[in-house]
Chains A and B, each alone.
Chain A
């Protein structure tokens, strides 16, 4: 039972769910603020998933480029890195807007609550989380590669863990500001 597969999956899983618990604890701390925003729970799962999807793909594409020698593991002018950053930023803005709009209409249609601020909260939180997570993803991918690790094996759980924490912090900041 306790094979290499078991150990690898288990250790990655424990890391991932511990990060998830930390994110949940942040949510619990801010429960007073969350309650004030109708429809926030419609937005929450999609918002948590979005960061993992976009940053996970960013890291995977960079890893492929690093392995192929097309991308160098340092910050310099590179067409592929620049293109990846631009794409990730734009994707987060588009997907945040979609999530906010879906949450707004779902809230209006199913619960009869007209809360337009949910769209701005999604957008603001998306942009804010981008500012933190994209540099972290790029630096960590490069750092792992420089130190002889395969970022593909590590970045998956790492990105979802960091993504959860950053996303929830960004959402809370957006709620406070908006």
Chain B
């Protein structure tokens, strides 16, 4: 369906405002999806693409940077341990990636369930929620073992001194950090998703930045706490 110049201009001129009535009208009349109309509104002929992107991204990116730096402070405080125990250094980026990825997966999947009306009031009894938790938790455990073991193996191959006791401790740190963080991420995604959804907002726009920031901050702080207490 091709839009007339007049309609195109009307969309391009719209201010960033949710649920604008003209979007709904055009969606109904021309059968164009909301996502397409949103993209046209954002990046239409009248808009300055780079300004729109920078304006909308900068706040959340700076917030995420500050949160990550707080996590970095935790790391800096255990710098001597990390530098002395090389498997921990090898483990660090993988652990950070893994927790962030689970934050994204749980948030997006739970939001889809909310939109599909699959979540009841007693959400912890819902079969889909239980299945999601089991799947994510099982993958998290396997991934934690994978990175915990490989970090020690790589350190051994590289010629850094590593013994069996140390390798077991590294595996414990990887497993415990993952179990704690995945549980926190799951709870935040579900509770946050329900709270935002009740306010008629799209949880996708809030949950992923929130959960990835919590994942980054939490993974560094819990990792630092584990290292301090176990080594």
A: residues with CB less than 8 A from B are: 1, 3, 5-6, 9-10, 12-14, 16-21, 23-25, 27-29, 31, 34-35, 39, 41-46, 48-50, 52-54, 57, 61, 64-65, 68, 70, 79-80, 82-84, 86-88, 90-91, 94-95, 98-99, 102-103, 106-107, 110-111, 156-157, 160-161, 164, 168
Q: Are A99 and B93 in contact (CB under 8 A)?
A: no
Which of B2-10, B22-30, B137-145 touches A? B137-145
B: residues with CB less than 8 A from A are: 35-36, 39, 43, 48-54, 57-58, 61-62, 64-66, 68-69, 71-73, 75-76, 79, 82-83, 86, 89-98, 100-101, 104-105, 109, 134-136, 138-139, 142-143, 146-147, 150-151, 154-155, 158, 160, 212, 216, 220
Specify which of A14, A24, A35 is in contact with B83 (CB 8 Å cutoff). Answer: A35
Specify which of B36, B51, B100 is in contact with A160 (CB 8 Å cutoff). Answer: B100
Q: Are A24 and B49 in contact (CB under 8 A)?
A: no
Q: Are A10 and B93 in contact (CB under 8 A)?
A: no
Inter-chain contacts of A48 with B (CB < 8 A):
93, 96
Q: Are A86 and B158 in contact (CB under 8 A)?
A: no
Looking at the assembled complex, report how far the CB atom of A119 sits from the nearest CB atom of chain B, in whole angstroms.
Answer: 13
A-B contacts, 16 listed (Cβ < 8 Å): A9-B135, A12-B101, A16-B101, A17-B94, A20-B93, A31-B83, A34-B83, A46-B68, A49-B212, A53-B212, A64-B39, A65-B43, A98-B62, A102-B65, A102-B66, A110-B73
Looking at the assembled complex, report how far the CB atom of B57 sits from the nearest CB atom of chain A, in whole angstroms.
Answer: 6
The count of A-to-B residue pairs whose CB atoms sit within 8 angstroms is: 203
Q: Determine the main DSSP class of B at the interface with A.
A: helix
Contact A41:B93 (CB < 8 A) given known A91-B61, A98-B65: no
Q: Give complex CA distance A149, B5 in Å.
A: 33
Q: Are B143 and A13 in contact (CB under 8 A)?
A: yes
Q: Give complex CA distance A110, B98 in Å.
A: 29
Q: Are B49 and A84 in contact (CB under 8 A)?
A: yes
Specify which of A43, A45, A80, A90 is in contact with B216 (CB 8 Å cutoff). Answer: A45
Specify which of B43, B90, B212 is in contact with A83 (CB 8 Å cutoff). Answer: B43
